[in-house]
Structure 1
Amino acid sequence: METLKKITASPLFLPLFALAVLLIFNIIFVDGFLTIEMTDDGRLYGRLIDILNRSSSLIILALGMTFVIATSGIDISVGSVIAISSAVCCTLIGGRGDGAAEYPMLLAMLAAVLAGVLCGVWNGLLVAKFKIQPVVATLILMTAGRGIAQLITEGQIITVYYKPFAYIGSSIPGNILPTTIFIAIAMILLVTFIIKKTSIGLFVQSVGINPTASRFTGINVTFVIFLVYAFSGFCAGVSGLIESSLIRAADANNAGLNMEMDAILAVALGGTLLSGGKFNIGGSVIGAITIQTLTTTMYALGVSSEQLPVIKAVAVIILCLMQSSKFRVMFNNWKSRNKVGPQGDKNFLMDEKAVNKA
């Protein structure tokens, strides 16, 4: 019993449990879910590979969102930043029918990531320096971002025929796995290095728990908040490269659409409280894979893309309730009533007073 309590108390239990339930459901109801085959040119393909491939950009996005939420913030502009990054990259490479690039692909990729960082810097200035509420500050770029992307592409969908650009979203010749998986792993290692070898992770948690106390201890709260939004923009810029490479085009209207919701849901599912404070990078990664598994499952069952956000919204509500101390007290009280009868009312009053006191 004690071992079971320790397992269920682990921050990774909920995301791993949700992922396990989805995988078991797919194994039972989706034909060929575990089937992995190899193409003639030596690449692996199958539903599992597709889930890892498609979840890579969401994993990267969730890494940046984790730091933002850990500081009690939110970034709802990342979907539009993906559109801007995609537009910059594809515009520089160009849609020449002869398959050549107008500018070197490396330059276009750097410019796209830089565009994402600049968007993050803008959000960071509004939130950290001018003290605008994070939802309002990032709503500005969320609203204007797709318009900016439209201006960059001149209202057109730019299709890239330069073949090496497709390697970002598929795989480099000779590799059996998609390149996106290696990019996601590299980003995870980068974030892990930052957390383990620097004090940034500790500063982020401190700011999220109590920014006033953090300031009195000598932490530059403004700079920490600014950095997390800049990093979120960087992650969105990298995700923009992947998303545009997957379709080999820049679509300002649809690139990164609703991905901000998926990123927030992945972080919440991973165990990071939306109120800020302690965060869980591993949980966010598992949460992103779980969200993509859910998306793939719904499509496999014939659920339309218009209905899918409703299912995700229900998941957000459930997660928010699970993170609510008030809801947990009410749930524990309900269990107590079923076990010990009237004594449960007394326990509820005592627990509620403890919560209000806390």
Structure 2
Amino acid sequence: MWNRISKHHLFWPLTVLAALLLFNLVYKPGFFSVRIQGGHLYGSLIDILNYGAPLILVAIGMTLVIATGGIDLSVGSIVAISGAIACLIVSRASDQHSLSIVLTAVGVALGLAIICGLWNGILVGGAGMQAIIATLILMVAGRGIAQLVTNGQIVTVTSNPYKYIGAGWLAMLPFSIFIVAAVLLAAAWLTRRTALGLFIESVGSNATASRLAGIRSRSVIFAVYIFCGLCAGLAGIILSSNVSSADGNNAGLWYELDAILAVVIGGTSLNGGRFYLSGTVVGALIIQTLTTTIYMVGVPPEITLVVKAFVVFTVCLIQSEKFRMAMTGKGKRRRAPAEREVTQHG
């Protein structure tokens, strides 16, 4: 029973997440406390869910891309582009509080994010470029596009409807949590209740064999990159809405790396094939909890990334079955009979 539990793809991610939360509880006894103020729930756990929402969205889209054997390094730039476009449209409106203006801005931003995802899909699935190179192009160019949109300045908005997307509340919880839940449920339903998930895993395992079996590999690749772009666009809108501004230079910076780490921590292999959306969500929560812990402990900003990298490295080692076997010595005991047999037979 223990072996079955320990080999589950969620066991080690959940163990690490629990360890981080326990450390925070010991360091700050009131870490788990949740209070009601003004009809809203407040607390460190609520903050982790709220501030981790954009990363979870990006990581969900990244999971499906990685499942096909690809990678998307442009998600951070798409986050910056969508936030910049949305804020620019709202800021230039005569009435920023108009709901129609906000819906138009969100629609245009998401449409542009989908186009960016389609561009990546065409380069990878249509032109046959390596995913890391194809998305690297938009990663570099997209950041420049975002700065062109904002003219190198921080675009601020005062729209209450737009601010509600990332900083609003619904049923006592941050509205961004419901956006993440809706996207996660939609992705889970499409990939686990329809044949799409099987197609994605098949393409990731062997794209050529999938094509010969009748699966339209290019269409699957187009779909996952478009979905990834859409998730990044939503994340960009939430981020810019939360602070009522858009920064083309810093918005979504390094999000692509955090998203990839969340996917890997969640148990999805970078080689493609089988994927775990639930593991990705846990991985993203680990990264956000770690970020919260670093700020709470008071780690100097200049070494924050070093501490973060070390913890993630440790988590990945713990997840490695070969590493655990080597540390416990089980690997040597298992190889011993085979080595003796080879020695006996010369």
Which of residues 148, 170, 182 in structure 1 aligns to 2:178?
182
Q: 1:286 Cα deviation (Å)? A: 1.1
Tell me: CA distance 1:218–1:300, structure 2 relative to 1, closer, same or farther (3 Å). Answer: same
The Cα of 1:320 is off from its aligned counterpart by 5.7
Aligned position for 1:67: 64
Once the two structures are TM-superposed, the CA of residue 38 in structure 1 deviates from its matched residue by 2.0
Asked if 1:120 is matched to 2:117, the reply is yes
Matched residue, 1:15: 13
The residue type paired with residue 222 of structure 1 is R
Pairing of 1:171-250 with structure 2 (within 5 A): 171-172=168-169, 175-250=171-246
Measured in 2, the distance between the counterparts of 1:123 and 1:218 equals 23
Alpha-carbon distance in 2 for matches of 1:102, 1:252: 24
Alignment of 1:324-339 (within 5 A): 328=322, 332=325, 335-336=328-329
The one-letter code matched in structure 2 to 1:343 is: A
Alignment identity in percent? 47
Rounded to whole Å, the distance in 1 between the matches of 2:223 and 2:333 is 51
Match for residue 155 of structure 1?
152
Q: Which residue of 1 aligns with 2:43?
A: 46
- Going from structure 1 to structure 2, the CA distance change for 1:116 and 1:337 (only over 3 Å counts) comes to closer
Alpha-carbon distance in structure 1 between the residues aligned to 2:218 and 2:307: 37
Residue 287, structure 1, aligned to residue 280, structure 2: no
SS of 2:42 mapped into structure 1: strand
Are residue 313 (structure 1) and residue 309 (structure 2) matched? yes
Q: How many residues align?
A: 342
Paired residue secondary structure (2:269): coil
Q: Which residue of 2 aligns with 1:353?
A: none
**Shift of the alpha carbon at 1:30?**
2.4
Shift of residue 102, structure 1, vs aligned partner = 10
Letter in 2 for 1:151: L
**Are 2:120 and 2:135, in contact at CA under 8 Å, matched by a contact in 1?**
yes
The one-letter code matched in structure 2 to 1:36 is V
Residues of 2 paired with 1:128 and 1:14: CA distance? 34
Match of 2:339 in 1: 346
Structure 2 residue aligned with 1:94, among 85, 91, 96?
Answer: 91
Relative distance call for 1:34 and 1:54 in structure 2 (3 A) is same
Match of 1:278 in 2: 274
Deviation at 1:76, TM superposition (A): 1.0
| Secondary structure at the counterpart of residue 261 of structure 2 | helix
SS of the equivalent of 1:52 reads helix
1:29 counterpart = 2:27: yes
2: distance between equivalents of 1:49 and 1:341?
A: 46
Alignment partner of 1:140 is 2:146:
no
RMSD between aligned alpha carbons?
Answer: 2.6
Partner of 2:265: 269
* Equivalent position SS for 1:185: helix
Counterpart residue identity of residue 23, structure 1: L
The answer to whether 1:164 aligns with 2:161 is yes
Letter in 1 for 2:9: P
- Whole-angstrom CA distance in 1 between matches of 2:145 and 2:334: 61
- Quick one: distance in 1 between partners of 2:36 and 2:212? 58
Q: Is residue 95–residue 161 contact of structure 1 (8 Å, CA) maintained in 2?
A: no
Shift of 1:341: 11
Q: 1:341 to 1:179 in 2, by over 3 A?
A: closer
Q: Distance in 2 between matches of 1:145 and 1:58?
A: 18
Instruction: Report deviation, 1:312.
Output: 3.4
**Inter-partner Cα distance in structure 2 for 1:161 and 1:104:** 13
Distance 1:341 1:222 in 2: 43
Counterparts of 1:284 and 1:10 in 2: how far apart (Å)?
A: 14
CA shift for structure 1 position 121? 0.7
The one-letter amino acid paired with 1:289 is L
Per the normalisation by structure 1, the TM-score is 0.88
Q: Aligned equivalents of 1:275 and 1:127: distance in 2?
A: 16
